[in-house]
Amino acid sequence: MKLEIGRIYIKDIQLGNETSVKNGVLTVDKTSLIAKLKEDDRIKDVKIDIAKPGDKVRIIPVKDVIEPRVKISGGNNGFPGVTAKPAQCGEGRTHVLYGAAIVTVGDIVGFQEGVIDMWGEGAKWTPFSQTYNLTVDINVVDGIDPHTHEETVRLAGLRAAEFVGQAGKDITPDEVLTYEMGSIFEESNKYPNLPKVLYAEMMITQGLLHDTYIYGVNAQTILPALLHANEELDNAVISGNCVAACDKITTYQHQNNSTILDLYAQHGKEINFMGCIMVPEHTTLAGKMRASDYTRKLVKMLGADAVVVSEEGYGNPDSDLLIICKKCEKEGVKTVLITDECAGRDGMSQPLADTAAEAVAVVSGGNVSHVVTLPPADKVIGNAEAIAVLAGGWEGALLEDGSLQCELNAVIGSTSEIGYHNVTCRLY
């Protein structure tokens, strides 16, 4: 399977009378975008704005972040199985407006979204302070149920990304990246002396505001599934997750999964990267045991020498992570874990909700409980008072001068468990 990602570097963003890219400047036709989104009769109102790196702008509460892109060849445009007809992802060419992002904003079910600051203290904690952001603030019609509300906002963000992504259709990319891997047998024959490595990516799949979708299928309903790495890099996986903002994997992060990219970079050099196992996270013990057993089985069937396992969320998913670790290690498969820590504001509490003697190779994305003070913004997109009900916020977290005091819990992407962020922890 061969995928070409054509990056069109975006150096600025503005609103105008057309949607286009010229000399690295992305212009978005606000009126046409709003009209497009309001074709969904569940949407009452849409507000469009922009936020650039360095602007004293705060975005809150954030639902998702999506990279605008367009399919040039080798599949259906958009998000197959969701906004487009089902089709294979991971082949052909996709053009990406690299450096731009769609950020959806608005209360969903009243809690568990996050904040992005484009400047200052807050900017250093979130990777999305460095993207040129088009914000889409969505109000839905009165009386719809929470599940429909969440779906409406999720689809609006994806459709906005499709609309804006069309601007890259006829543009010559500044850079073309090629990701190509044959079958597991072909790659094993090509690199017989390299260790075979799988990536097991755990996904939140625990109900409303705790969902992930693969080709439009809610991953709650699946057993662990094997994907070619190219599929996730090409819109096959989207976020429906508004759990703690710090370690939710946004759709943008799925599209640019840094663990996949790092493993790809070593493919054929230090490792034979064989693909991704998408692992649902369940709330029941039976669900956890079933998913971990099935993951272990796939790892063994494919003959992996090692597996990298990343988590999404914390608390009860820590058990899924450690159970997978125990089972794979007992099969003789070296296991590396990527997680974050809920270690208390002083960093001294037990970092995970479970432990295992087999967990000897663990990468930390940071402490979700670390408290930061974010200075007053010149402009707030959304509603700053939402901090009172975000995970990591509290009543009184919005100070009189407009500052926010909150845990990293509330900052989008701050402790990413796929490594798409700016920090880690260090053992002294």
In a domain, 339, yes or no: yes
How many domains are contained in the chain? 1
d(CA 383, CA 395): 14
d(CA 345, CA 398): 18
d(CA 18, CA 328): 53
In a domain, 422, yes or no: no
Residues 6 or more apart whose CB falls under 8 angstroms from that of 241 comprise 204, 209, 210, 211, 212, 248, 249, 312, 313
User: Which residue carries 């759990």 as its tokens?
Assistant: 243
Which residues form the domain of 371? 2-410
CB atoms within 10 A of CB 385: 14
Predicted confidence at residue 271, as pLDDT, reads: 96
d(CA 161, CA 300): 39
In a domain, 421, yes or no: no
The amino acid present at 240, given as its one-letter code, is G
In a domain, 417, yes or no: no
SS (H, E, C) 361-381: CEEEEEECCCEEEECCCCEEE
> Phi and psi of 238, rounded to 5°?
-130, 155
Predicted confidence at residue 391, as pLDDT, reads: 85
Predicted confidence at residue 412, as pLDDT, reads: 94
Q: Which pTM value belongs to this model?
A: 0.95
Predicted confidence at residue 214, as pLDDT, reads: 96
Predicted confidence at residue 427, as pLDDT, reads: 57
Q: What averages of pLDDT result for each successive group of 10 residues across the chain (428 residues)?
A: 97 97 97 96 96 97 96 92 93 97 84 87 95 96 89 94 96 97 92 96 86 94 95 95 86 96 96 96 93 97 96 89 96 94 79 84 89 96 88 88 92 90 64
In a domain, 418, yes or no: no
Residues 6 or more apart whose CB falls under 8 angstroms from that of 326 comprise 356, 358
Predicted confidence at residue 355, as pLDDT, reads: 85
Predicted confidence at residue 156, as pLDDT, reads: 95
In a domain, 341, yes or no: yes
d(CA 5, CA 91): 10
Predicted confidence at residue 165, as pLDDT, reads: 97
In a domain, 315, yes or no: yes
In a domain, 140, yes or no: yes
**Active-site amino acid positions:** 242
SS (H, E, C) the chain: CEEEEEEEECCEEEEECCCEEECCEEEEEHHHHHHHHCCCCCEEEEEEEEECCCCCEEEEEEEEEECCEEEEECCCCCCECCCECCCCCCCEEEEEEECEEEEEECCCCCCCCEEEECCHHHHCCCHHHCCEEEEEEEEECCCCCHHHHHHHHHHHHHHHHHHHHHHHCCCCCCEEEEEECCCHHHHHHHCCCCCEEEEEEEEECCECCEEEEECCEEHHHCCCEEECHHHHHCCCEEEEECCCCCCCCCHHHHHCCHHHHHHHHHECCCEEEEEEEEEEECCCHHHHHHHHHHHHHHHHHCCCCEEEEECCCCCCHHHHHHHHHHHHHHCCCEEEEEEEECCCCCCCCCCCCCCCCCCCCEEEEEECCCEEEECCCCEEEECHHHHHHCCCCCCCCECCCCCEEEEHHHECCCCCCCCCCCCCCCCC
